[in-house]
Amino acid sequence: MGLLADDPGAGRRLLAALCARPDVAPQAVDGPVQVLVTAAATVDRALALCRHHDANRPDRPVLLVADVFDPAAVRTAVDAGVRTMLRRSDASPRSLVTALGAALNGEARLPSEAVVRLLGASAGPSVSSRLTARQVDVLALMAEGHGNAAIARRLGCSEHTVKNAGYELMARLQARNRAQAVARAVRTGLV
């Protein structure tokens, strides 16, 4: 496993999390690495790191770790062959090892927000066309079980904004509560 990170501090934290597992052996990026882990604030930046350092190994599996999953960037990464992505805040030793295994096996593993954004218009057009990008973000995090405070932290907004988005979601999905909103979103393919 080779690691590239745009932020040295974040790179050290990821490396420490990976080294906490005896079944992971970090290697020099330029050597015979089985999986390349790229970490950056955005998918675009992580993909740029990967392309810069791995231009002559396009077939090598990549685990892309990022904070922000822009729809166009996610599409570009998937088109470039990246099948496994992980939100940096979810990068625990266990989730990293699971994601590394998925990357090695060519499995697609994406955060729910990346899937929602990737599928976009094809994920239930009658419902998704009525939801704003913020509401889709809130819905994806609700589906992962996060409360309003955690969602607000992740999205960089106030709890009040999250509550309003939640009420709007429930109205647009014709749901009586959060659980029903998430259930309807799952049934319609939004998450």
Bridge partner residues of 87 (DSSP) = 66
Scanning the structure block, which residue is given the tokens 């599928």?
119
Render each residue's pLDDT in the chain as its tens digit; 191 residues.
566 677 777 777 777 776 765 555 555 555 555 667 767 788 888 888 777 766 556 677 888 888 888 777 888 888 888 888 888 888 888 888 888 888 888 888 888 777 776 666 344 445 555 778 888 889 889 888 899 999 999 999 999 999 988 888 888 888 888 888 888 887 777 77
DSSP string, 140-151: HHHHTT--HHHH
Calculate the alpha carbon distances from 48 to 33, 55, 77, 103, 121 in Å.
18, 10, 10, 18, 26
Look up the pTM and report it: 0.55
Q: Could you give all domains of the chain from N- to C-terminal order, each with its CATH number? A: 2-110 (3.40.50.2300), 117-188 (1.10.10.10)
